[in-house]
Amino acid sequence: MRRNWDSIWMVAQREFQDQFRDWRIIVPMFIMVALFPFVADNTTLQAINFMNRFGGNLILDRIIPFVILVIGFFPLSFTLIVALESFVGEKERGTIEPLLSSPLNDRHLYLGKLLVGVTTPLLFSYGSIGLYLLLLLRRPVQFPSMYMMVLILLLTFAHAVLMVSAAIVISVQATTIRAANLLASFVVVPVAFLLQGETLLIFWGDEGVLFYAVVGLTILSGLLIRLGLSHFQREYLLGREIDTLNFKSMWRTFLVRLVGNAKSVSEWYRKEIPGTLRQLSQPLWIVVVVALVTIFSSYAWVVVVTPKYVNITPERVQEAQKYIADNLNNLDLLSTKLPAPSLFLSNVRASIVFLLAGLISFGTLGVNLFIVNMALIGGVLGVASLIHFSPFLVFVSAILPHGVFELTAVTIATAAVLKMGAVLVTPQPDKSMGEIFLLSLADWFKVFIGLVVPLLAIAAVIEVYVTPLLIKMAFPHLF
């Protein structure tokens, strides 16, 4: 442990020394730290005065945490410069090879550089926040609560780790600073959006929601660090000479995995699809368990918690039943209002959204969307129970007939997204990150084309033409 830390610190120490001797990094940071709090202080004052004239008390409470968050974020933009300089810069200048030829292991190098990438900008960031708070002492304004301050400082820390770990992932892929800077926009743009989202939480949400943002960012940063660790290998760092995109080779890699050894569609279904499903068995189990737990939890939450907030009187139950009965009368029009092809396309689109969300979050957002859908099912059954319908009958007549196909399809698609995320953060010394990504994407497409799309098509037809009939049979008194 001691030896590991010594090695990490050795790498970090040299980087710190190098950084503080590079005026291109230090001077702008100092200027930003020294100047920005004054600008922000003045702007805040103007804004508060402006708001006060119109009685904007809500904004008044929230504007200072928002300014603190922004002040903390500006110096953090240097995390990208520091991280890219530290990783790609070393590759480009050829200084990394002597380091890689030494007995230091990959983990020491990675963590040493990560430490520097996070620490210096974060120190400047906290310095800037501190200066702003000092300036704020002169103003007759209300300070944020200690809890809010801690959350903002944690959020700033999470931003730093997120940006550095993402920059390192980029650095492993690029061989020149130029290429890395171009790729860095994939970090800057999402983080800018993230900041806007957090601003919304500060303005209109509450501190509890901000806490979840900290937790979410920390998880994402952890996954990015793991991804960087798994791909920061000597072999890979030295194996790439130039940044080129070989579309032909990429397409071939994707296609070979997608088609496999199959000579016909039937062979593909007989050999390739079962093979891919076998590989998905573990994520499938996880997703199924997550689905069951979510449905039951959501059901229980609705049944137990709702009555505490809503007084469920017999009149209200009757009113709700009448409302449902009125709406169910439109069931006959379902095939014209929502034709099966539209329903099918909508479900396909949802599966693709799961994939896209999973792609930018190592599968986690894809699984989150799946959880939301499962929670809806549990919620619907819970509401059914509250208004004295049999949840079992609702499930068997209104969900299960098409759900057998639809839920199976969505579960498989989610499992494939989860696997993609897991594979990306798992070390595979013989494959590049791009190759791993393409192979997992091909696996996803394999189950998507081979299973998910046909299952969703069947589900759409059943949902439009069969499910309404079964609902009528199960609940004749409503029609």
Partner 1 sequence: MIESNDLSKQYNNNFWAVDGVTLNVQPGQILALLGQNGAGKTTTVRMLTALLSPTRGWARIGGYDVAKHPQDVRANVGVLTEQHGLYMRMTGEEYLDFFGKIYGLDEKTRKSRSDYLLEYFGLKEAAHRRSGEYSKGMKQKLALARALIHDPAVLLLDEPTSAMDPESAQLVRNEISRLRSSKRTIIICTHNLAEAEALSDQIAIIYRGKILLNGTLEELKRTVLGPVEYEAKFSNPFDAGDLELPPGTVLADRSATSLRFRIDSPRDANPKLVRALTSRNAPLISFQEVPKKLEHVYLKTMADAQGVTYAA
Q: Are 243 and 175 in contact (CB under 8 A)?
A: yes
Q: Which of 103, 140, 314, 476 binds partner 1 (CB under 8 A)?
A: 103
How far apart are alpha carbons 440 and 415 in whole angstroms?
12
* 244 part of the interface to partner 1, by CB under 8 A: no
Among 55, 98, 314, 476, binds partner 1 (CB under 8 A): 98
Of positions 61, 207, 243, 435, contacts partner 1 by CB under 8 A: 435
- 176 is a contact residue toward partner 1 (CB under 8 A): no
Report residue 268 as tokens.
Answer: 């593909």
Tokens standing for residue 150: 């801690």
Which one of 24, 93, 107, 252 is in contact with partner 1 (CB under 8 A)?
93
Using the rule CB under 8 A, is 208 a contact of partner 1? Answer: no
The verdict on 342 binding partner 1 (CB under 8 A) reads no
Stretch touching partner 1 by CB under 8 A, among 197-205, 233-241, 318-326, 379-387 = 233-241
* Position 235 contacts partner 1 (CB under 8 A): yes
In the block, tokens 């933009």 appear at 77
Q: What angle do CA 354, 367, 284 make, to 5 degrees?
A: 105
Region near partner 1 per CB under 8 A, out of 7-15, 54-62, 163-171, 368-376: 7-15
**Distance, C-alpha 181 to centroid of its chain:** 23
Q: Which range in 13-21, 191-199, 224-232, 294-302 contacts partner 1 by CB under 8 A?
A: 13-21
Q: What is the DSSP letter of 360?
A: T
User: Binding partner 1 by CB under 8 A: which of 234, 254, 422, 427?
Assistant: 234
Contact window for partner 1 (CB under 8 A) among 230-238, 368-376, 419-427, 438-446 = 230-238
For partner 1, give the closer residue by CB, 13 or 318.
Answer: 13
DSSP SS3 for 452:
helix
Selected binder of partner 1 within 105, 281, 282, 329 (CB under 8 A) = 105
For residue 428, the minimal CB distance to partner 1 (Å) is: 12
Binding flag, residue 454, partner 1 (CB under 8 A): no
User: SS3 of 380, please?
Assistant: helix
**Could you say whether residue 24 binds partner 1 (CB under 8 A)?**
no
DSSP letter string over 337-396?
HS-HHHHHHHHHHHHHHHHHHHHTTTTHHHHHHHHHHHHHHHHHHHHHHHTT--HHHHII
The answer to whether 74 touches 191, Cβ cutoff 8 Å, is no
Residue 456 contacts residue 292 (beta carbons within 8 Å): no
Stretch that binds partner 1, among 27-35, 88-96, 124-132, 266-274 (CB under 8 A): 88-96
- For residues 280 and 447, the answer to whether their CB atoms sit within 8 Å is yes
Q: Which of residues 246-265 bind partner 1 (CB under 8 A)?
A: 249
Report the nearest approach of partner 1 to the CB of residue 106 (Å): 10
386 neighbors 312 (Cβ within 8 angstroms):
yes
CB nearer to partner 1: give 103 or 476: 103
| Residue 282 engages partner 1 in binding (rule: CB under 8 A) | no
d(CA 231, CA 85): 18
Q: Does 278 bind partner 1 (CB under 8 A)?
A: no
Q: How far apart are CB 14 and partner 1 at their closest, in Å? A: 6
Least spacing, CB of residue 83 vs partner 1, in Å? 17
Instruction: Give the integer Cα–Cα distance in Å for 437 and 443.
Output: 10
Q: How far apart are CA 177 and CA 207, in angstroms?
A: 39
CA distances from 350 to 280, 343, 362, 369, 413 (A): 20, 11, 18, 9, 10
Q: Is residue 4 within the footprint of partner 1 (CB under 8 A)? A: no
- CA quadruple 84, 89, 92, 98: dihedral positive or negative? negative
Residue 239 found at the interface with partner 1 (CB under 8 A): yes
Two tokens at 241? 């000479």
Q: Nearer Cβ to partner 1, position 249 or 346?
A: 249
- Shortest Å distance, C-beta 306 to partner 1: 57
Q: Does 243 bind partner 1 (CB under 8 A)?
A: no
Q: Report how many residues bind partner 1 under the rule CB under 8 A.
A: 28
For partner 1, the binding residues (CB under 8 A) are 7, 10, 14, 17-18, 21-22, 93-105, 234-235, 238-239, 249, 429, 432, 435
